[in-house]
Amino acid sequence: MTELWTTVASLMGVWAFSQTLLLAVFPPELRFALIKLFQRLFNCCSSYCYYDITEIEGVNTNELYNAVQLYLSSSASSSCSATSSNRLSLTRGLNSSAITFGLSHNDRLTDVFNGVSVVWEHIVTPRQSQTFSWRPLPEEKRGFTLRINKRDKSYILESYLNFINEKANEIRRKNQDRLLYTNSRGGSLDSRGQPWESVPFKHPSTFETLAMDPVKKAEIMSDLRDFADGQAFYTRTGRAWKRGYLLYGPPGTGKSSMIAAMANFLRYDIYDLELTEVQTNLELRKLLMKTSSKSIIVIEDIDCSINLTNRKETTTTTGGGDRNSSTFVDGDIETSGTNNSITLSGLLNFTDGLWSCCGSERIFVFTTNHIEKLDPALLRSGRMDMHVFMSHCSFPSLKILLKNYLGCTPDDVETSVLQRLEEVTDAAEMTPADISEVLIKNRRDNKKALRELLEALRVRAEKNRSGLQRLGADVEEMAEEEEKRALESPKEGGDAAAGGGCVEEEGGKELEDNIIMGLI
C-alpha cells in the first residue's frame, strides 16, 4: 500500500513538472494557436454546427435567450422527444400566475422541428470577477448551445428561430396576467412617463358563465376568433386590424361582464378610457398611441360621458343679448361651459381615423343604456361594426344562472317548476343582475332559491301586465276626452271650421305622440 501511494505521488510530481515545462517552453500565443487549430480540425471532421446564444451580449440582455428559455419550457412537456435527465428547473415570471419548467444547468434537451432533430444544451459557468463595470453582471455566465446537423442547417435554421420567437410570444401572452389600464387624472404622467395606470385584471367572467342567449354568444365568440386570426385577411383587404363593438341595453344586463369575458377569451389587456378626464383631441390621440396591440379599448356609458349627441350648432343668448355667452354643441366646435373640449370629430378619428391604425389587433368597445341618444355617425360600420343588444334575462340565460349560482342543470329541477319558470321569465323582464341577487341570497338552499325566484318573477310579470293595462286605459280615456273636446268646440264660419280642423288634426297628432311616448 505504501508503494502505491509513493507511485501516485511520483506521477503527480512528474505531471506538475511537465506542465510547468510546457508553460515555460510554449508561450500563450502558441498555445492559443494550437487550440484554434485543434478546434478547426474538430469542426472539419464533425458533422454538426454549433450556435451559442448567451444571456448577455455586452451590456444588453439577449432577447433571443429569453425566447429560447421560454420555448424550451414548453418543449420539455410537448414537442420534446427525449431528455437526458429528469431534472428540470421551475420558474414563475413577473405578473404571471403560471409556473413553467425548463432545462437545469448544463443539461440537454432534444427537440424536433419539421422532422429534423436538434439538441439544446444549457451551459452555466462561473463568471470571472471584474474590477469595474457600468452594469452589475450576474455571478454566473449562462447561455444555450444549439447543435444542428450541417446538412440541415440551411433547411431549418432561420425558420426554426422564427418559430421559436412566435411560440415564445404566444406563451408569454398566455402566462402573463392581463392588466386593466385607466388614463391618469387630468392627463398627468406616471413615474415612467406613461399616461396610463394599471392594475392586474382578475375578473373571472367567461363566455361559459355569461348569462346570455347561447346562439348570440356563439356568434360573438366566432366573430372574435375570426378577428384574432385575421391578420392575413385584414392585410389583403387593406383594412386596419381593428374592430368595434357596441353593447347596449338596460342597466344590469351584463355589459361589463361581456367585456371581461371578451378579454379573458382573447387574453387581451383592457384600457378603460375615461373621457371626462381627457381635455383635448390631441390628448385623446396621444392616449391611443400609448395603447398596446392585442388590447380592448373600452368607453363605458358613452352617452353620459360628454355631450356628443347633437352635431347641430345651437346658441343660448342671455337677457342682455350678449353672443359671447353662447353655447356651441357641434362635432367640430369646442363645447363651452365645461373644461372638456373633445369634439365628435376627434372621437370619430380616434376610432376610425388615420391615428387608429397606429398599432394592430385592437378592439374598441362602447357601452350605452340609450342607443337612441348616440349620433348616427358613431353607429356606422367601421366604428361600431357589431351591435350587441344586452336584453333582459331570457329562459336560456336563466338556465345558465341556475348552473352558475346553484350548480343545478335543467335535469335537476322539477319539470313543473321548470315550466312555470319558462312561462314567466320573458314576461317578468328582469335583468340578470336582479335574478342573480335572488339566487345569491339563497344559494345554500336550492329549493328555497327556486321558490323565491319563481315568486319574484311572477310578481314582476303581474306588475308589468297591470302597467300595460293601466297604460291602455289611460290611452282610451285620453282619446275620449279629445273626441269630446273636438265635438263641443264652437264652429264659427268656414275659416273657423278649417282652423278647428287644424286644431283637431294637431290634437290628434299630439295624442298619437303621447301614446307612443307612453309605450316607450
Per-residue pLDDT of the chain (520 residues; tens, 9 = 90+): 778 888 888 888 888 877 777 777 777 777 777 777 777 776 677 788 888 888 877 666 788 888 888 888 776 555 444 444 456 666 666 555 566 666 777 778 888 888 888 888 888 887 666 555 555 566 678 888 998 988 888 878 889 988 998 888 887 777 777 889 998 776 666 555 678 888 888 899 999 999 999 999 999 999 999 999 998 898 898 888 999 999 999 999 999 999 999 999 998 999 999 888 888 888 888 888 888 888 999 999 888 766 654 444 443 433 444 433 333 333 443 433 445 577 888 888 778 777 767 767 899 999 999 898 888 888 888 788 999 999 999 999 999 999 999 998 888 888 898 899 999 998 898 999 999 999 999 889 999 999 999 999 999 988 888 876 666 666 666 776 777 777 666 554 455 444 444 444 444 445 445 544 444 4
The boundaries of every CATH 3.40.50.300 domain in the chain are 180-389
Burial of 238 (0-12, 13-18, 19+ CB in 10 A): exposed
**Does pTM top 0.85 for this prediction?**
no
Do residues 271 and 295 touch, judged by C-beta distance below 8 A?
yes
Q: How many helices (H) and strands (E) does the chain have?
A: 16, 16
Burial of 101 (0-12, 13-18, 19+ CB in 10 A): middle
Give the whole-angstrom CA distance, residue 110 versus residue 118.
Answer: 6
Phi and psi dihedrals of 328, rounded to 5?
-110, 130
**Per the structure block, which three cell numbers stand in for 79?**
414537442
Q: 285 CB contacts (<8 Å, ≥6 apart)?
A: 346, 349, 350, 355
Q: What Rg value do the Cα atoms of the chain yield, rounded?
A: 36
* H or E stretch at 118: strand 116-126
* H or E stretch at 196: strand 196-200
Phi and psi dihedrals of 249, rounded to 5?
150, 175
Q: Would you tell me how many other CB atoms lie within 10 Å of the CB of residue 353?
A: 16
Angle between helices 446-488 and 415-428 (to 10 degrees): 40
pLDDT at 265: 93
CATH 3.30.1130.10 fits 180-389, yes or no: no
pLDDT at 48: 84
pLDDT at 324: 39
**Per the structure block, which three cell numbers stand in for 57?**
451580449
Q: Would you tell me how many other CB atoms lie within 10 Å of the CB of residue 94?
A: 6
**Per the structure block, which three cell numbers stand in for 187?**
392627463
The residues with which 362 forms a beta bridge, in sequence order, are 242, 295
476: three-class secondary structure by DSSP: helix
Nearest C-alpha neighbor of 388 from the set 491, 249, 293, 503: 249
